[in-house]
Structure 1
Amino acid sequence: MELSSLGVRLSDEMIVVGMIFIAAFLLIQSFLVPAFGENRQVQKRLKKRLRAISDEAHQGSISLVRRKYLRELGPLERALESLPGMERVERLVEQAGKETPAYRVVLTSVCLGGMAGVAGLYLLPLPMALLLGLAVAAFPFLRLTRARSRRLARFEEQLPDALIVMARALRAGHPFSDAMHLVAEEMAEPIAGEFRTTFMEINYGGEVRNAMLGLLRRVQSVTVMIFVTSVLIQKETGGNLAELLDGLAAVVRDRFRFHRKVRTLSAQGRMAAWILSLLPFVLAGVLSLVSPNFLPMLTQDPMGRQLVVAAFVMVIIGILWMRKIVRIEV
């Protein structure tokens, strides 16, 4: 009897933990990402465009970033970098603006997850210890993803000023590569580093097309895609590139201003979504502390379990519905 009651209690705990995990995951995905992010259709078009140009870009010479990166690694490190999946991790590190080798990120994730899982075995049941290990193992990747998002937001904020600087340099008679070098010298990171890398690839004999596609591959943004496409079309067909960059800078600046306004107007809705979604779990925690015998009466009864499942389904539907309301696709 004691073993059966212990098994029921552990199953109840796992159900509650699973519910909290699913709700928290949906809340983070729905309301912690930028409210003015690209909509799904735009993201699909951007990914399709990147896939279309990836083969073409890889057919050219290897980029200076990749060449320098491989040259500084030892034989063992190169072997680790050749493992499956390391290329995606390396791309994430590069987009985040970090210089940590990809294999170190993976090893750090495995070590942290393993230590957290082993420590959790002494304090928690096996499933909860596994969840704890996976959550801790994902921390390095979540940190890189957050750094990439911040770097991309900062890059897009600097892009209008960079385009204006380039347009003025072109009007003064400078070639396109020198205009990019002027941006790299006059502006701050991260746009200075990306333009400097692109300028070096062009200046050391690389093709403008491959260098610009490399910039788009490192900074995956719709505004950067428009900038790269405009430059490539102008190189093939001709035209007034300075005037084109001025117009693009005005459009990007107005778009960024509108995004901030949308984020401000949707802040109240996001806060309401967090409060309404977490309120049932907070109330259950308070009741379990105040009256420990209250919740077991609900979970041990078959009808009570059905009510708990129905309430959780309604919470998930509410999160998805509020996400649809709050996330304004621009």
Structure 2
Amino acid sequence: MTLALLMASIALLLAAGALHLWWSVAARQQQRAAALHAETRLAPAAAGKPGNASPAVVAVPRQRWAELLRRAGLDDGRRMLVVLALPGFVLPVAAGMRLGSAWFGVLTLLLYALGLGLWLQRRIEKTRQRLVAQMPDFLENMVRMAGIGNSLSMAFQSATQNVTPPLRPILDSALGYTRAGMDLDRALLQAAQAWRLQPLEMLSVILGTSIRIGGRSDQILQRMSDFMRDMEEVQRELQATTSETRMSAWVLGLLPVLSALFMALLNPDFFQPMFHEPLGRKILLLAVALEAVGAFVLYRLAKSI
């Protein structure tokens, strides 16, 4: 029975990985098409000027994990991938040997994958908040540059020089695409595609409209900057108001899992019937299902506030 449960868990993990890869095929194909377009634009310039270096274009990540690590503010090299994946092999093996059950090793692997996913999501969310917080100052710098007679393209390039990471690499990528022959609005949209930030998409629309049609884009950028500052202040007040509720949801959701894991590692004999007896396995599966449902309900309650 334990072997059957182990094989079923592995099959579910492989199916989930296959679905994730299938869903990300379209995004990867679009990224490869953009990279190929940039390379074809760069090729004539490099052939005409062999003594000069080609324009600096940030390479589009070809692998999903590299993009994920970069969005989380981590190094996208193989060393970081090994550091994150190594506990996923060591902890399940150690836990399975400790309790003498491969099923507990699978549960440990799932818990580690869940914890790693939540940690990466938290880092990505913090990086997104920093990106949004940098946008008003960048827009105001663009307004000042455009107010003294510069075009939007020149104002964008000048304002980029005063920006710090994590927004700076995105803007540098957009400038690299423009040097390859792409329009500024499309270059910005392509550079910010992985982040899916609405302010950058709005800025791309404003730049495209101003370049092709004209108008007082500086006023629109100023109003957008003021609106983003007001939104940031409202979000901070909302987070401060709901912080106690969200923390309570985290504690209630993680306390049963951490308590069961601690008790199982401290006294393996206590949990042996849960893995070797038919009734114990049913109770264990029921507890996992109830924990999943409870965590989902707490998540929805915390998100609805």
Q: TM-score, normalised by structure 2?
A: 0.65
- CA change 1:304–1:204 in 2 (3 A) is closer
- In structure 2, the CA distance between the partners of 1:136 and 1:65, relative to structure 1 (3 Å rule), is farther
Secondary structure of residue in 2 paired with 1:250: helix
- Counterpart of 1:226, as a letter, is M
CA RMSD after TM alignment: 4.8
Displacement of 1:263 after TM fit? 0.9
Distance 1:304 1:227 in 2: 57
Where does the alignment leave 5 or more consecutive residues of structure 2 unmatched?
10-23, 43-53, 265-269, 273-277
- The alpha carbon displacement at 1:249 in A equals 0.8
Cα displacement (A) at 1:282:
8.0
Tell whether 2:244 aligns with 1:265.
no
Q: Which residue of the other structure, out of 255, 260, 263, is the alignment partner of 2:231?
A: 255
| Preserved contact between residue 177 and residue 202 of structure 1 (Cα < 8 Å) | no
What is the aligned partner in structure 1 of residue 69 from structure 2?
93
How many correspondences in the alignment? 271
Describe how 1:1-330 pairs up with structure 2 within 5 A: 57=34, 60-62=37-39, 69=59, 87-101=63-77, 103-125=78-100, 126-133=102-109, 135-136=111-112, 144-203=120-179, 205-277=181-253, 319-328=295-304
Q: Deviations over 1:66-93 (max 9, x none)?
A: 96659xxxxxxxxxx9xxxx62122223
- Identity within the alignment, %: 20
Distance 1:150 1:172 in 2: 35
Q: Distance in 2 between matches of 1:269 and 1:97?
A: 28
The answer to which structure, 1 or 2, has the higher relative contact order (CA under 8 A, 6+ apart) is: 1
Write the deviation string for residues 240-291 of structure 1: whole angstroms up to 9, x where unpaired: 1111101111111111111111111111222333454556678889999xxx
Q: Mind listing any 5+ residue stretches in structure 1 that lack a counterpart? A: 1-6, 19-46, 71-80, 289-293, 297-301
Contact map agreement 1:93 1:100 (CA 8 A) in 2? yes
Change (3 A) 1:189 1:110: closer
Compared CA separation, residues 118 and 271, structure 1 to 2 (3 A): closer
CA distance in 2, matches of 1:149, 1:247: 25
Name the CA distance, whole Å, in 1 between partners of 2:181 and 2:148.
Answer: 24
Does the residue aligned with 2:161 lie in a helix, a strand or coil?
Answer: helix
Amino acid paired to 1:120:
A
8 Å CA contact 1:184, 1:195 repeated in 2:
yes
Distance 1:284 1:108 in 2: 26
String of CA shifts for 1:73-125, please: whole Å, max 9, x gaps.
xxxxxxxx9xxxx6212222333344433x55544444443333443343233
- CA distance in 2 between partners of 1:295 and 1:128 (Å): 10
Preserved contact between residue 108 and residue 140 of structure 1 (Cα < 8 Å): no
Q: Kindly indicate whether the alpha-carbon contact (under 8 Å) linking 2:93 and 2:105 is maintained by their aligned counterparts in 1.
A: yes
TM-score (norm 1): 0.61
CA distance in 2, matches of 1:316, 1:159: 38
| Residue in structure 2 matched with residue 73 of structure 1 by the alignment | none
| The 10-residue stretch of structure 1 (206-215 or 114-123) with the greater mean CA deviation from structure 2 | 114-123
The DSSP-based 3-state class of the residue aligned with 1:61 is: helix
Partner of 1:78: none
CA distance in 1, matches of 2:85, 2:254: 31
Q: Tell me which residue corresponds to 1:36.
A: none
